[in-house]
Amino acid sequence: MKESDIRRLAADVLAGIAPEADLNTVSDDVDLREALDLDSMDFLNFVVGLHQGGGIPIPEADYPQLFTLRGIVAYLSR
């Protein structure tokens, strides 16, 4: 996936979980859970949405790599 596709996917998934959250207001290196006030269930749903939209398996051990937008782009672009 290209970076623009990954960012769009992340924004779309997030819109379904926390419609008031805006990824455009968050720096690439900021923890999304804190910046967007995502609780553990929101974050889990976010990861599941990234998995489904990206078609890439995401084991639980890799979740910390997805805490930032930069991490999401790096992980899904592999």
Place 71 in a pLDDT band, splitting at 50, 70 and 90. very high
Place 60 in a pLDDT band, splitting at 50, 70 and 90. very high
Q: Residue ranges of the domains in the chain?
A: 3-76
3-state helix, strand, coil in the chain (%, to 5): 65, 0, 35
Residue 70: the pLDDT is 98
Q: Which whole-number Å values give the CA distances from 22 to 19, 27, 51, 59, in the listed order?
A: 8, 11, 20, 26
Between 1.10.1200.10, 3.30.1360.120, 3.30.9.10, 1.20.1250.20, what CATH number should domain 3-76 receive?
A: 1.10.1200.10
**pLDDT tens column, 6-45:** 999 999 999 999 999 988 899 999 999 999 999 999 999 9
Residue 13: the pLDDT is 97
Residue 10: the pLDDT is 97
